[in-house]
Amino acid sequence: MAKKVQCPNCAREFVRRVSRAGFSELLLSYFYVYPFKCQLCGYRFRYFQWGVRYVRAEEDRREYDRKEMNLPVSFYGQDVSGEGRLLNVSMGGCSFSTGAKIESGAILNLSLQISKDVPPVIVDAVRVRNVWAGSVGVEFLRWQQSERERLQLFVRGLLIGQGIDLEPLSTGPETLLPR
């Protein structure tokens, strides 16, 4: 049985094989040394896997696995603001649905309401990478370290299958009542 690949930075097993970058990684792959990226801390590293060959797949070039969601988001930018529903999330970006008209390439500030019990995770800058049929795909560019760590804890819970209480948020006054 093949040994599970662990991140040498955070010692977690949530790593993903990523595309080779440059001639050196192409050459190393002939000797079974492949690039990986940690889904939690974002550390990119190489790992020796004797006898393992990876088939190149062009369909998905993401370096992070996306986890499906249905949570509220809000955003604002230079010429646009609005709300929507989070469709999927990873440490590298997310997709959300919205009725707002957003242009590809726009830079936005994004708030992800990951739980009704805690303040939203704030991403100071995201780049709109894709826009299609009422949905927007963004890449996270800049955020405070504390906000990154909060999202990292949330994603870790999703990756290990425990998740977090994802009960839909209520917008009415009943949210102020004790349970």
Tens digits of residue pLDDT in 129-160: 999 888 999 988 888 989 988 888 888 777 77
Asked if 59 and 72 sit in the same domain, the reply is no
**Per-residue model confidence (pLDDT) at position 112:** 92
How far out from the chain centre does Cα 88 lie?
Answer: 8
DSSP string, 79-122: S-EEEEEEEEE-SSEEEEEESS---TT-EEEEEE---TTSPPEE
Q: Is residue 179 part of a domain?
A: no
Model confidence, pTM: 0.62
Does residue 87 register a pLDDT over 80? Answer: yes
Asked if 97 and 135 sit in the same domain, the reply is yes
| Residue ranges in the chain assigned as alpha helix (H) | 22-29, 145-159
Q: Is residue 173 part of a domain?
A: no
Asked if 47 and 129 sit in the same domain, the reply is no
Q: Is residue 170 part of a domain?
A: no
Structure tokens at 76: 């604002």
Angstrom CA distances, 127 to 11, 102, 156, 173, 174, stand at 30, 11, 23, 34, 35
CATH code for the domain in which residue 150 is found: 2.40.10.220
Angstrom CA distances, 4 to 46, 122, 123, stand at 14, 33, 32
Which domain-ending residue is among 63, 89, 117?
63
Domain extent at residue 79 = 67-159
Beta strand 33-38 pairing with 44-48: antiparallel
Asked if 74 and 54 sit in the same domain, the reply is no
User: What is the C-alpha to C-alpha distance for residues 2 and 157, in angstroms, rounded to an integer?
Assistant: 25
Kindly indicate the confidence band of residue 119, based on its pLDDT and cuts at 50, 70 and 90.
very high
How far out from the chain centre does Cα 28 lie?
Answer: 28
Q: Is residue 72 part of a domain?
A: yes
Asked if 88 and 153 sit in the same domain, the reply is yes
Asked if 105 and 56 sit in the same domain, the reply is no
Q: Is residue 172 part of a domain?
A: no
Asked if 51 and 81 sit in the same domain, the reply is no
User: What average pLDDT is seen over the chain?
Assistant: 79
Q: What is the mean pLDDT of residues 11-27?
A: 82
Asked if 130 and 153 sit in the same domain, the reply is yes
Closest to 140 measured CA to CA, from 123, 165, 160: 123
Q: Is residue 167 part of a domain?
A: no
Residue 112 phi, psi (nearest 5): -110, 115
Question: Strand, coil or helix: what is 153?
Answer: helix
Count of alpha carbons within 13 angstroms of residue 29, beta-carbon side: 17
Does residue 85 register a pLDDT over 90? Answer: yes
Tally of domains in the chain = 2
